[in-house]
Amino acid sequence: MKMVIAVIKPFKLEDVRSALTELGVQGLTVGEVRGFGRQKGHTEIYRGAEYEVHFLPKLRIEVVVSTTIVDRVVETLREAAQTGEIGDGKIFVLDVGQAVRIRTGEQGEDAL
């Protein structure tokens, strides 16, 4: 199994979710994060004082899938999350040794 971690632009979440669902992905987990990267932040000004904001709001999607479909997941995810503009984000793939469904105790791919 693989864990696919994607950092995307917030307003792309709905597109990504539906795209992955169509692909048969049963679940995923999303967290709010702040990202620093090529896409430069912005400056906020308060009473004439400039305040440099380096970090931008992003969403971090975490989805574990079977190795067999991981490539399609990554590709689908990429397409759904893409705007073509700087700051679209990244996708990382990691190995998962074990997965368990807390409710039933099912293990491995059955747990997904």
Question: CB-wise, 44 or 79, nearer to other proteins?
Answer: 44
Binding mask 66-85 for ligand ADP (x = CB under 6 A): --------------------
86 binds ligand ADP (CB under 6 A): yes
Binding mask 21-60 for its own copies (x = CB under 8 A): -----xxxxxxxxxxxxx---------------xx--x-x
CA-closest candidate to residue 79, choices 29, 32, 20, 37: 20
Q: Which residues contact 47 (CB under 8 A, 6 or more apart)?
A: none
Half-sphere exposure of 17 (CA within 13 A, CB side): 12
Q: Footprint of other proteins on this chain (CB under 8 A)?
A: 11, 14, 42-49, 51
